[in-house]
Amino acid sequence: MKRNLLVLIMILLILSACNNPDPPAPTDLPTTFPSDTPQPTATPEPTPAPEEFTQYRFEMTLDYNRHTAQVVQTIDYINKTNFSLPSILLVIPPRAFGNSYDQTGLAGENITGFSEEGIRTTLQLAQPLEPGQRLTINLSFNLAIPQREGSFGWSQRQLNLSNWYPYIPPLKPDQSWISHDPFIDQANIMVGEYVVNEIADFYLTLHLVENLPNLLVASGAKAMPIPDGMSYSQERARSLSFSLSNQYHHQQVEHNGLLIQAYVFQYQSEKAPAVLQIASQAMDLYAEIFGPYHYDQVSIVSADFLHNMELDGIVLISSSVVDFYDNTPENNLTILVPHELAHQWFYSQVGNDHALEPWLDETLATYSEYLFYEHYYPELADWWWDNRVYAHAHTGFVNNSIYDAGSYENYRSSVYLNGAIFMHDLRITMGDQAFMSALKDYVALNNLKITTKTDFVSIFQAANPNVNLQEVYARYFKE
């Protein structure tokens, strides 16, 4: 009995993702709009992105059993700003985990020295890097991947590598770098995400020390076999991540030109078809509502930890969510797979500052769950509100940063759940057709960019200039 109670508590915690007025009650939130059906609208063409991007190239030798890796990395950085750069910032997320990162080399033709502080390394340049100029940085380092739950770490049945390499963060117009520190709350839970990446091209040659039987590598990148491993390429992406296990069951489907792959643990093999079905439905719907998906494959991976995580072309879903799928849509798997896949638009395609403005991806991804239910299971739309939102604390400023919220619970309450209420209020105020048009315009106009609240507000206001949306923002946002 105690074990069952513990499981129920864990499942409630999995659903992830102040001084606001009380949100509308469920009965105030219509779940269908019969007299105002969304109609196709003309959408501006995406702003053409520059043809060239910063490139990250890696040669990795990975020892799966010892949880170590040796890496040689080259960064071919392009200064795409309109100002010169006297120095370059490297952010090295593995340094946040004790002795996980051991740098053995750092050099470059224009680099005269460097200084280190926490997860940051500042490179001094002999000559400022002018707009349009390139800088090549050569690094080598060893990874001792920590034994921990999460998207960077290993367990007895899985090894996950995300945010595992040095990267150059984006620059603001005021010439400052977008770089943050992780935030751990008093319950020892990392609150939200803090890494912000600009679009780049990634190439990895992965050598495996041992030819382990049944070892599978899940990634969002295109893979080509080589004699002792795999070669990966992922272009126009924000990051390169992958997950390895010798206990995976792999199943895939070609769906409307998209390769959808499910990696679940072997004892979960009977759940793989449901993962693929839910993912197929979500990708179809979101491509229709938000615009085309920008890769030709996506992977859904059962993760050996409590929470869920979006990455480029790959999402990690807690294995407990997969375990308790009961072949009905009234289930966390049907909620959370669409949520994480919505991040392929709101994170991967349209970026934002995840530490300071996490609502620009998490609020939109949470409301995307409702769009999924509204479309495929309209009879369960009220159930979604009751189970996902109103059954939990759902107050706080929607535009809280990961630091403002103070804890994971407050972060989820404000950014995710009150965020969903905000989006629905905005939809009702704007009208259904204008709201749907704004969603598509927001993605199209910000393709491969990093957005702010200003971008969001201007696009949604333009979709219906006849209503005052500032009153809606005032109900949920702090200045």
What DSSP state is assigned to residue 166? -
Nearest to 345 by CA among 289, 399, 296, 384: 289
The predicted structure's pLDDT at residue 45: 55
Task: Report the alpha-carbon distance of residue 233 to residue 402 in Å, rounded.
Answer: 32
Task: Report the alpha-carbon distance of residue 30 to residue 15 in Å, rounded.
Answer: 23
In this structure, CATH architecture of domain 18-48+358-476 = Orthogonal Bundle (1.10)
Task: Report the alpha-carbon distance of residue 83 to residue 1 in Å, rounded.
Answer: 64
The predicted structure's pLDDT at residue 44: 53
The predicted structure's pLDDT at residue 453: 97
147 contact partners, CB below 8 Å, separation of at least 6: 67, 153, 154, 155
For the chain, which ranges sit under pLDDT 50? 1-41, 46, 49-50
Q: Is 18 helix (H, G, I), strand (E, B) or coil?
A: coil
* pTM of the predicted model as reported, rounded to 2 decimal places: 0.90
Instruction: Please report where in the chains the tokens 């072309």 appear, as a residue.
Output: 313
* Pairing between β-strand 297-303 and β-strand 314-318 as defined by DSSP bridges: parallel
The predicted structure's pLDDT at residue 21: 36
250 contact partners, CB below 8 Å, separation of at least 6: 216, 218, 261, 262, 263
Task: Report the alpha-carbon distance of residue 58 to residue 139 in Å, rounded.
Answer: 10
The predicted structure's pLDDT at residue 206: 97
The predicted structure's pLDDT at residue 11: 43
Distance of CA 464 to the CA centre of its chain: 29
Write down the domain spans for the chain. 18-48+358-476, 54-342
Nearest to 412 by CA among 387, 395, 391, 390: 395
CATH topology of domain 54-342: Immunoglobulin-like (2.60.40)
Q: Locate 137 and state its tokens.
A: 């940085």
Q: Is 209 helix (H, G, I), strand (E, B) or coil?
A: coil
Helix 359-376 with 332-342: angle, nearest 10 deg:
130
26 contact partners, CB below 8 Å, separation of at least 6: 382, 385, 386, 390
Give the DSSP per-residue string, 102-132: EEEEEE-TTEEEEEEETTEEEEEEEEEE-TT
Contact 41, 47 (CB under 8 A): no
* Pairing between β-strand 351-352 and β-strand 450-451 as defined by DSSP bridges: parallel
The predicted structure's pLDDT at residue 187: 86
The predicted structure's pLDDT at residue 20: 38
Task: Report the alpha-carbon distance of residue 317 to residue 11 in Å, rounded.
Answer: 12
